Structure formats: C-alpha cells, structure tokens
A and B are shown apart, each in its own frame.
Chain A
Amino acid sequence: MARGQAHDVDSLREIARQLRIDSLRMIHLAGGGHPGGSLSAADLVTALYFHEMNLRSEEPDWPDRDRFVLSKGHGCPVLYAALARLGYFDPQHLDTLRKFGTILQGHPDMNKTPGLDATTGSLGQGLSVGLGMALIGRLDRRAYRVFVMLGCGELDEGQVWEAAMCAAKYRVANLTAVIDYNQLQLDGTNDEIMPLEPLEDKWRSFNWNALRIDGHDMPAILDALRAAREHEQGPTVIIAKTIKGKGVSFMEDQLDWHGVAPNAEQLEAALVELGP
C-alpha cells in the first residue's frame, strides 16, 4: 500500500483494535508470547503499516519499499497480525505462532516470514541494523525510509547509543526511530530498573530530532510520522508514551503481562473488552 492511499483515523483505530484481538488470540493459541508489549505497540504499528509506509505486499522484496525493523522483537505478534492483514501471507498462519515448522517464529526471522525486513529479538541491535539499511538506501539513491521500533527497556543497551551517535554523524534523515515507551521492563518500571529521563535530552545530545507524543492518539502519531518525514537534517526519534497491555483493563500497566499467554477464560474476557 502506498503512503497516503490509506485510511482515515477511524478506520486506522479499527485496524488497531483488530490487531490487538489477533495478537491475543495468537498468543493464547501459542501458549506463550508477550501480550503487554504487543498491545502497547498496536497503534504505532497500525499507523506505520496502514498509513505511513510505502509498501507492496504483493512484492515483498520491492527494492524501493520502506523498511521496518522491530528491534523489540518479542512484540512480533502484532507485527505478524499486520503483515497477515496486508496479505503478505495467509492469516491462517497466525494460528501457528511459535509452533514447530511455523513461518512465525517466537522472535522475527526474516528468512521464514514474508514481509519481515530483519531478524531481531536480541534487544538493542535493531537501530544499528536500520542504520545500515538507511545508509545503503542513500548510497543506492533510493527514496525508501527505514523505521525502527524500540522498546524502552532496550534503551539500557549501550549499542542503541552507539547507533544513535553514528546515525547523527551520517545525518541519515531517512531513519526514524519509534520508541514504544510503556515504561515497564521485565523486572519493573524503567524508574526502578534504570531511569531513562530526561529522554528527549539524551537523544538531542546526540543531535537527533526528538518528538514526544501519546502513542495511542492516532492523529498525534500520524502528525509525528509526517514531521519525521519532513525533517531533512538528520534522524528523528518519536518517543511515544504508551500503556503496556493497552485495551485490556486487567493487562494495562501490569508487569505480570509482559510475557505470559492468556488462558481461554482470560482471552474471552479480553475480547469482550476489545469488542466484537
């Protein structure tokens, strides 16, 4: 889907709702996975894949496509759901998440899943991979852009800042980092484990363009992505404040839902909340 053809805000919200439902179903069927971070990223993934990014789902290897690197690879259920809905593969595959022989590995494997641009799951590496892609895009004089979605916990990894420093050195304006800033990591809140604030200051000290938004406010997300596209002096980071487990009351802001699959009863209760 080419950028701009896409949906209005209401239909994007509806897609995000569907992706949340798909993610929870998948994780339930798999009996394992990371619901919290899938739900927090759902609106951001929707805005990217169904509005901002230049893609051809019928031609996954189209050289001019925009790239997406899910650096927080454990949030892949929501990405798989988006790719299925865009037609990269038959949605029936979603039922096979994490099962033997599946194309949908527990963490993204670019050689197994159509539509994936990178293999990820080891936190802190995705921005570097995206930076490599962005530099080559510029070298090849192609207009594609590269989006990297980072979790907040992985900002503890020094490698993220190596990449931040290097991206600014090369002024790669075709690189956009989106932080799913749900402020919870595996062992606790960011503040308890390793504080991140003032986060914009950190990125700005590396000469990045830094924006902060509500990561569940669809118009705000679209605005920020447009602003990143129009910023031509260097890379942009969108710090998107989100809620882990967003959309399901008993999962919201709950540390325990980082990496646990809902059982049948919990899934049913969640689907009631998310609506038909």
Chain B
Amino acid sequence: MTTAAPKRELPTRHAYGETLVELGREDDRIVVLEADISKSTQTYRFAEAFPDRFFNVGVAEQNMMCMAAGAAICGRIPFVSTYAVFGSMRACEQMRTSVAYPKLNVNIAVSHAGLTAYDDGVTHQAVEDLGIVRSIPNMTVLQPCDAPSTRKAVRAAVEIDGPVYLRLTRIAMPILYDDNVDFQIGKAIRLRTGGDVTIVAVGDMVFQAREAAERLAAQGIEVDLLDMHTIKPLDVDALLDSATKTGAVVTAEDHNVLGGLGSAVAEALGEHCPTPLLRVGLQDTFAQSGSYGDLLRHYGMDASHLVEAAQRVMRRKQ
C-alpha cells in the first residue's frame, strides 16, 4: 500500500481530464465524445489539444453513446463524458445494447457522482447509477477516490477489453495516494489493517471511512479498511479475507444502499461467508440541494455515522 498525507485537493474529474490529454499524446486511437458540458467534465482539455479527435455532439447523450459504439467498431478507443445521471440513465439502453452487448471498448467517464453534485439538487445527483451499470453484463465499474488513483483508473480502462464505467466527483477530493499507487482493476487497496471491524468504502466515502477509522482507533477499535475502487468485478477474495478476520462489515458509498457497493458486498458475503453487515449510504431516498458536508451529515453518511455503524455492527458479532 502506498499512501501519502493529504497535501492538496482535486476533483477526480480534473485528474480524468488531464489524463485524457496524456493518453491522447501517447495513443492516437483515443477519441473523446462530449455532450456540451466539456468545461465541467474537463474534456475541454482534450478538445484543445486534439480538436480532430474530439466530438461535441450537443445535448444528446443517447446519440453520443451509440456514436462511441460506431467509433469503437472502427478501431478507436472512445471516451464518452457527461454527468453520471445522464450517462447511466438517459443513455442506459444505448449503453446496454449498442456498447455492452457487443462488448465494445467504450469508456464511459461520468462526473457529478452521488452527493458530490451537492447543490445542483436531485436532477444532477446520480445515486442509482452503480446499481444500474453493475447489472449490465460485460461492464467494468470503477470509482477511484482521489486524483492519482483516477489517473491510473483512466489508463486501466483503456487496457480493458470491453466497456468501463468510471464514476467521478464534482467536488475536490483530498490526495490520498502517491503517483505510484498500485491500482489494479478488481484489486481492493487495504488502507488500514485491523481485526475488529471491516469498512469497505468506495469513491469519496473512502475519506469519511478513513476519518471514522481514526476515531475508532482512538477508542481502541482497529478497522480493516478497504478502498473498493472496483465495484465490478468485486474483489471477493479481499472482502472474504477481511470479513473472516473481523466478523463484522460496514460498507460506505455515496449512492443508494440498494444496488451499489453495499449490495455487491452483501451478495458476496451472503454466498460465501455470512457476516453481520451494515450498509451506509442513502437509505433509499432522494437527497436535496445543500452543501456536500451538510448532505452527508443529514443523510447519515459522514464519519460520525460510520463510527456509529461500526459500533453497532460489532455488537452483532457472534
């Protein structure tokens, strides 16, 4: 594990935009499709560097998804960018039928994941997308937590044969890893080793989980903390190793608790190693406008709630 103390912050969408430019230089198969929010998704950087390989289709996400399929069929490696709400839901069936079914190398990189869209409100907060895309065969689903792991994830997405859904944040995230982080698709990163309780976190919730683990350590509770940046394929081995050791699991995701990380973990534990589990996330509700911090607190997703969830689940150990 390679971690460094947080020294600055960056939205993961920025890391995505920067990496696209690097990739564009290295590999002329890369093309980028955008639906009129390039300043927001950060694909404008690629547009400036490689105007010939950038296609702004306007506010037409369904068309964009299938155009990417056509480009992939003709040997290119397309990145499709929009907000997570539109990428996963407005163009859902296009993604399923024209991209995932023929197993094309289309990378769907979407910003404004979960409550990181904060004051834009419910229309722009994707809290269902992980559940939707996870249920589509052939899809790989990623949400790295910080800029360095996002850079690695973007590169890994190019290498994968088949479609990748990459979930990015609107707001700045602390820098957790250094540039040499060993990011492998399907391999969780263990951020803490402990024997009392497992916390499996994804994306921006990794930072809440780290803080919770520190507070729990102050109470003498040692947390085994996993950054489960790949929601599909889930790192079942790492999960089972940890759950077997601690006997209690908490999941933390910026998403509805139905369908996303919590569900994926529950499925794996249920089949292989039934273990007391609490899922922290949106409890099957839409959120509202507000600051990111206010929303996490209000919906029971901040570090304090994670601490409480860990304590509760530990009481259920046999």
Contact = CB atoms under 8 A, between A and B. Distances in A.
Direct touch of chains A and B (CB < 8 A): yes
A166 B60 contact: yes
20 contacts: A118-B98, A128-B63, A128-B69, A129-B67, A129-B69, A129-B73, A130-B70, A132-B66, A132-B67, A132-B69, A133-B73, A134-B70, A135-B70, A136-B70, A139-B31, A159-B63, A163-B66, A165-B58, A165-B60, A166-B58
Given A125-B98, A162-B63, A136 B31 contact: yes
Interface stretch (A13-21, A109-117, A198-206, A265-273): A109-117
A92 B302 CA distance: 63
Nearest to B33: A132
A119 B103 CA distance: 10
Contacts of A110: 73, 102
A129 B31 contact: no
Nearest to A159: B62
Given A122-B98, A162-B57, A165-B60, A128 B73 contact: no
Report the 10 A-B pairs with minimum CB-CB distance, sorted nearest first.
A132-B70, A128-B66, A162-B63, A162-B60, A132-B67, A136-B74, A133-B70, A129-B70, A119-B102, A132-B71
* Interface of chain B: mostly helix, strand, loop or mixed: helix
A66 to B, nearest CB: 12
B135 interface: no
B101 interface: yes
Nearest to B97: A122
Interface SS of chain A? helix
A132 B74 contact: yes
B62 A128 contact: yes
Interface string B47-62: 0000011010110101
A136 B57 contact: no
A135 B67 contact: yes
Given A111-B102, A136-B31, A139-B53, A159 B71 contact: no
Given A122-B97, A159-B66, A166-B63, A133 B103 contact: no
A226 B153 CA distance: 47
Contact of A170 (B55, B74, B78): B55
B55 A135 contact: yes
Contacts of A162: 57-58, 60, 62-63
A119 B97 contact: yes
A131 interface: yes
B93 A122 contact: yes
Given A128-B63, A129-B67, 18 more contacts: A69-B70, A119-B98, A120-B98, A121-B97, A125-B94, A128-B64, A130-B70, A131-B63, A132-B68, A132-B69, A132-B70, A132-B78, A133-B70, A136-B74, A159-B60, A162-B62, A162-B63, A165-B60
Contacts of B31: 136, 139
A125 B66 contact: yes
Contacts of B71: 132-133, 135-136
